[in-house]
Structure 1
């Protein structure tokens, strides 16, 4: 596995070339791509040339966002699906082989079963196009009860449910985005991660939780930097990733507004150090 810089996940803003420079400067192993920026380069050949420069800096691509909303209204989803091949052409030209999205863990109108059927059918369509392009898709389940309990029908919000959904699609290129925060708030342990392999995991995020809240009181957008409070068993989480022989990106996604007010180089030096420590075990 390798340390990955996602400026957005840290609450910081920068265009892709700047993010690449910062990732190289602070010793990250990779950087998350920005499909919007790559589109602006104008051609697949220009994208390939740009991506070669990323490799020359000693960096790998992390995970791009899935450019389609799985729960969009039918017409909007159909239109996005029709545009997906063009986006996949750009990702392929850049050598990006993984995209991801999160599963919204509740719905005001769709019951659990109806929402499940919707996700299976749409993921089946999307994953087929991605497979043809040689791209994997990661799904992130969202653990905090303070989030999934806010609408009429709770939906998938645990590792076991996510794995069941993936299995039902029958697609071999769908895997998990594992986030230590969601793993903790879902009440899971290292035992729940046992048996996973590299093929099951597309990306990983590490965070910590506030130490003045119980597990079911934790808020999705109010986290802490990994290893800062010790609430989350980061050693157990990372040991499970190593046991899975995971080879993909690991990034920090704390949603701490205070980071944006600090010097960027200080934030990134700290993040890189925490990632190196966690990955090194």
Structure 2
């Protein structure tokens, strides 16, 4: 019997910079055309997502939908300011409603802090607020059958969770069974000591994987040691989603490009990029 294949996903920003009805239809259709099983929809502005329409389009094309986001400096559950924390709670609740509305089962990313460069370490009270906020999110998510993923991001994008070790410590404190590690190889390239240790360290708490090159462009053209990383995933027995993530200013909106420090066009043809990435990932997971 062949081992189960990891669901292969792609980030919606490969296809479109927003999520209007037209952009939704184009992104989901392109995801299926490129051979992916899953599309990751950014819920940075939950109110801009028509969940009912999205759910119907996903069903029409046989594509699974999940969501991700990062919080904002004025809506951040890791803030010591209770008003900022409450706005962060509200944004997470809105994002969770989108996931449930599209029929999804996963909400991940920097759901624990703003996706921004902080100028100070995480405040102790802010950490307490973050743990409490994640516990609330996880319990609400469990009611909808949704898993919450904590994505360690690099030090320039958060002061709260930068490594798998950081994520595991938070998961232990939160203490809810539906909270997992969302491992992104792009960030691991900056913060981890190699590409095997974080997979081993995450163990059975690894629930979602992002694949991206060191410069966010075509896979295999940067500095990521993909053979080591894919080998570690295979050795670990990981069977969860593996999602390709790449950003180019040619597609991503100017505001979000600025936020993600995407200063140039790393590619212009999303379909060519997506098909190359799918072939690259499938071969890597197969050990070819």
Indicate the TM-score class for this superposition, using the shorter chain for normalisation.
Answer: 0.7 to 0.9
Q: Does 1:3 align with 2:8?
A: yes
Task: Tell me the secondary structure at the aligned position of residue 63 of structure 1.
Answer: strand
Q: Which residue of 2 aligns with 1:215?
A: none
Q: Which residue of 2 aligns with 1:123?
A: 134
Given the superposition, is the C-alpha separation of residues 40 and 169 from structure 1 closer, same or farther in structure 2, using an over 3 Å criterion?
A: closer
Write out aligned runs for 1:2-151 (5 A): 2-8=7-13, 10=14, 12-13=16-17, 15-33=23-41, 41=50, 46=52, 51=55, 53-65=57-69, 69-71=76-78, 73-79=81-87, 81=89, 88-102=96-110, 103=113, 107-108=118-119, 111=122, 113-143=124-154, 147=156
- Which structure would you say has the larger RCO, counting Cα contacts within 8 Å and 6 or more residues apart? 1
Aligned counterparts of 2:207 and 2:162: Cα–Cα separation in 1: 18
Given the superposition, is the C-alpha separation of residues 175 and 22 from structure 1 closer, same or farther in structure 2, using an over 3 Å criterion?
A: same
Task: Please tell me whether the aligned partners of residues 105 and 157 of structure 1 are also in contact (alpha carbons under 8 angstroms).
Answer: no
The TM-score, its normalising length taken from structure 2, stands at 0.72
Q: Aligned pairs, how many?
A: 255
Offset of 1:112 from its aligned partner? 5.2
Q: Which residue of 2 aligns with 1:175?
A: 180
Judge which range, 69-78 or 174-183, deviates more. 69-78
Question: Which whole-Å deviations, capped at 9, do the CAs of 1:220-259 have from their partners, x for residues lacking one?
Answer: xx44432223x22212222222334333332233444455
Task: Tell me the secondary structure at the aligned position of residue 188 of structure 1.
Answer: coil
Aligned counterparts of 1:123 and 1:176: Cα–Cα separation in 2: 13
The TM-score, its normalising length taken from structure 1, stands at 0.74
Aligned counterparts of 1:234 and 1:261: Cα–Cα separation in 2: 20
Offset of 1:96 from its aligned partner? 0.5
Task: Tell me the secondary structure at the aligned position of residue 41 of structure 2.
Answer: coil
Q: Which residue of 2 aligns with 1:233?
A: 225
Given the superposition, is the C-alpha separation of residues 70 and 244 from structure 1 closer, same or farther in structure 2, using an over 3 Å criterion?
A: farther
Given the superposition, is the C-alpha separation of residues 24 and 81 from structure 1 closer, same or farther in structure 2, using an over 3 Å criterion?
A: same
Point out where structure 2 has 5 or more consecutive residues left out of the alignment.
1-5, 250-263
Q: Which residue of 2 aligns with 1:280?
A: 286
Task: Please tell me whether the aligned partners of residues 216 and 266 of structure 2 are also in contact (alpha carbons under 8 angstroms).
Answer: no
Task: Please tell me whether the aligned partners of residues 208 and 240 of structure 2 are also in contact (alpha carbons under 8 angstroms).
Answer: yes
Aligned counterparts of 1:80 and 1:112: Cα–Cα separation in 2: 16
Task: Tell me the secondary structure at the aligned position of residue 242 of structure 2.
Answer: strand
